Amino acid sequence: RSAMSCSARLFINRKAFSGVGMIVLKDAAPAASETIGEVCAIYDLKHEIIGYNLISPYFENLNDGYQPWNDETLAFVNEKLIKAGFAAIEIDPTPRLVVGYVKTCETHPDSDHLHVCQVDVGQECVQIVCGAANVAANQKVVAALPGAVLPDGRLIEASALRGVDSAGMLCSEWELRLIDEPKRGILILDDQAEIGSPFFGR
């Protein structure tokens, strides 16, 4: 089968499922499963694959929780999938957590606490609805664009908030796991941050 490009996420829970790598392709309710060798494919009601459970001692060496992909882990997973007759996973390397610049910030037409922001993310300007009280124009922020995965494994998708389209979200320090306790408000970056650059590793 041909390779499948998707926002695949890998999770480990050694206490509950020792030696199992749980791959989520799509957030949906499971309806059926099929096991071939070391791979258990999980299907939704439309019989589309929404994830895999891979059984291998390899996963016992990984930390619990969401696992950002690296070349070694992706190659290992794809070897197992292809051997079992499933499509390989391709990960789009385009950065999705990037430095953005809030060009305008207007009050949401149907909310007294939401704001509609036009955010320059380097290659384009996108509209993001934000509920943080400290968001304002002329700020550099961290924008999670559709397809971004936060450090806790949450996938960010385009959505609509009270009828207004939002191409992602603006992130707080807590959502980026830069602090240990929740804190209100988005992270405001310094003026030296480069618009459009990847946030992590910059």
115/110 Cα distance (integer angstroms): 10
Give the pLDDT confidence score for residue 18 in this predicted structure: 87
Strands 159-161 and 140-144: unpaired
Residue range 151-202, pLDDT digits in tens: 999 999 999 999 999 999 999 999 999 998 888 899 999 999 999 999 975 4
29/124 Cα distance (integer angstroms): 34
Give the pLDDT confidence score for residue 5 in this predicted structure: 42
pLDDT at residue 33 above 90?
yes
Confidence bin at 15 (pLDDT 50/70/90): confident
Give the pLDDT confidence score for residue 117 in this predicted structure: 98
Read off the amino acid at residue 76.
F
Give the pLDDT confidence score for residue 14 in this predicted structure: 86
Give Cα 153 to chain centroid, integer Å.
6
pTM of the model: 0.82
Give the pLDDT confidence score for residue 108 in this predicted structure: 96
Give the pLDDT confidence score for residue 3 in this predicted structure: 38
> Which of 5-14, 24-33, 191-200 is predicted with the least confidence, judged by mean pLDDT?
5-14
CA angle 192/98/166 to nearest 5° reads 125
Q: Which two tokens stand for residue 198?
A: 């990847």
Please compute the mean of the pLDDT values over residues 17-27 and round it to a whole number: 92
Give the pLDDT confidence score for residue 83 in this predicted structure: 96
Q: Is the dihedral of CA 76, 77, 78, 81 positive or negative?
A: positive
2-38 burial code (b ≥16 CB/10 A, e <16):
eeeebbbbbbbeeeeeeebbbbbbeeeeeeeeeeeeb
Give the pLDDT confidence score for residue 181 in this predicted structure: 85
60-92 burial code (b ≥16 CB/10 A, e <16):
eeeeeebbeeeeebbebbbebbeebebebbeee
Residue range 47-79, pLDDT digits in tens: 999 999 999 999 988 889 999 899 999 999 999
Residue range 82-135, pLDDT digits in tens: 999 999 999 888 889 999 999 999 999 999 899 999 999 998 999 999 999 999
**CB neighbours (10 Å) of residue 183?**
12
pLDDT at residue 21 above 70?
yes
